[in-house]
Structure 1
Amino acid sequence: MPEMPEMETYRQQLIPRIVGRPLTQVEVTREHSINVPVSEFIKRVSGKRITDIRRRGKHLLFLLDSKDILLLHLMLGGSLFWGRDEDKPKRTVQVRLSFGEEHLHFIGLRLGYLHLVSAAEAKERLDKLGPEALEFTAASGGATAGANNGAGSGETAKPGLTEAEFNRLVAEKRGKLKVALTDQSFLAGIGNCYSDEICFAARILPVRTLQSLQAAEKASLYRSISAVLGEGVRAGGYMEMPLYVGDQLTGGFNALCRVYDRAYEPCLRCGAPLVRRDIGSRKSFCCESCQS
Structure 2
Amino acid sequence: MPELPEMENYRRLLGGLVINKRITGTEVLREKSINLEPERFDRLLSGQAIRRIDRRAKHLLFALESGEILVLHLMLGGIICYGTLADKPERTVQVQISFGDAQLYFIGLRLGYLHVLEPEQLVRLFAKLGPEPFDPALTQAVFRERLARRKGTLKSSLVDQSFLAGIGNCYSDEICFDASLLPARKPGSLSGEEMNRLYDSMLRVLEEATSFGGYMELPLYPGDRLTGGFDSRCRVYDREGEPCVRCGAPLVRSEVSSKKSFYCLRCQS
TM-score (norm 1): 0.91
In structure 2, the residue matched to 1:24 is 24
Identity within the alignment, %: 55
Amino acid at match of 1:254: D
Distance 2:260 2:27 in 1: 36
Q: Does 1:38 align with 2:57?
A: no
**Counterpart in 2 of 1:74?**
74
* C-alpha distance in 2 between matches for 1:280 and 1:176: 7
| 1:288 paired residue number | 265
Q: CA deviation at 1:280?
A: 3.0
3-state secondary structure, aligned to 1:277 = strand
Matches within 5 A, 1:239-278: 239-278=216-255
Does the aligned pair in 1 maintain the 2:3–2:168 contact within 8 Å?
A: yes
Q: Take 1:245 and 1:180, find their aligned partners in 2: how far apart are those partners?
A: 37
Contact 2:153/2:257 (<8 A) preserved: no
2:129–2:162: 8 Å Cα contact kept in structure 1?
Answer: yes
Deviation at 1:168, TM superposition (A): 1.1
2:3 and 2:30 map into 1 onto residues whose CA distance is 24
Q: Distance in 1 between matches of 2:33 and 2:80?
A: 14
Where in structure 2 are the equivalents of 1:176-215 lying within 5 Å?
176-215=153-192
> 2:95 matched to which residue of 1?
95
In structure 2, distance between residues paired with 1:62 and 1:88: 21
Question: What residue in structure 2 maps to residue 15 of structure 1?
Answer: 15
* Contact map agreement 2:239 2:251 (CA 8 A) in 1: yes
Is the 2:152–2:257 contact (alpha carbons within 8 Å) kept by the matching residues of 1? no
Who is 2:119 aligned against? Answer: 119
Distance 1:19 1:66 in 2: 14
- Kept in 1, the 8 Å contact 2:129–2:164? The answer is yes
Task: Please state whether the residue corresponding to 1:94 is helix, strand or coil.
Answer: strand
- Post-superposition Cα deviations, 1:157-210, rounded to whole Å, max 9, x if no partner, equal xxx401111111112211111011001111000011100000000000001111
| TM-score (ref. length: structure 2) | 0.98
CA distance in 2, matches of 1:37, 1:174: 43
Q: Distance in 1 between matches of 2:203 and 2:127?
A: 22
Q: Select which of 262, 279, 284 maps to 2:256.
A: 279
Q: Which runs of 5+ in 2 are unaligned?
A: none
CA distance in 2, matches of 1:39, 1:282: 40
* 4+ residue runs over 6 A deviation: none
1:169 and 1:2 map into 2 onto residues whose CA distance is 25
**Alpha-carbon offset, residue 36 of structure 1:** 1.5
Tell me, in whole angstroms, the C-alpha distance in 1 between the residues paired with 2:120 and 2:2: 25
- Show the counterpart of 2:138: 161
Aligned residues: 269
* C-alpha separation in 2, matches of 1:192 and 1:89: 26
CA-based RMSD: 0.9
Bigger mean CA offset, 279-288 vs 110-119: 279-288
Structure 1: give runs of 5+ residues left out of the alignment.
Answer: 140-159
1:35 counterpart letter in structure 2: N
What is aligned with 1:149? none
Work out the CA distance in 2 between the residues paired with 1:83 and 1:263.
36
